[in-house]
Amino acid sequence: MQNLKVIFEDNHIIVVEKLPNIPSQSDKTGDVDMLTLVKQYIKEKYNKPGNVYLGLVHRLDRPVGGIMIFAKTSKAASRLSEQVRDKVFKKKYLAVVDGKVDNKKRYFRRLFI
């Protein structure tokens, strides 16, 4: 299992750092994903038999690195999902740019590579 950087954990949520180029959840590539990594971490740390519940509250695009919050209970998943829907839960992005940026532009369009 890859090293997982846990930033915060309690009985309800776990906050981890997602490195760039790791999918948030499984996809057709079969590459290791954050949801699986965090489930495996919980399974090993708490010696849990069987399946581990973990709610995926939000995603980050594969090329993006950053902080992800997962729900460890269905109640936490429901409450966090409601915060995402109600736009209480906010994501902020910091872009690293190579070259000059036009100071007059305030918004950038997301490009898919």
How high is the mean pLDDT of the chain?
A: 88
pLDDT at 113: 45
> In this predicted model, what pLDDT tens digit does every residue of 67-89 receive, in sequence order?
999 999 999 999 999 999 998 98
Instruction: Please provide residue 13's backbone torsions phi and psi, each rounded to the nearest 5 degrees.
Output: -135, 160
The one catalytic residue in 27, 33, 61, 102 is 61
Model-level pTM?
0.82
Q: Cα torsion at 82, 108, 20, 10 (round to 10°)?
A: -30
Over range 51-57, report the average pLDDT. 95
Cβ 25 vs Cβ 59: under 8 Å: yes
Instruction: Reply yes or no on whether 61 is catalytic.
Output: yes
Sign, Cα dihedral of 55, 72, 84, 86: positive
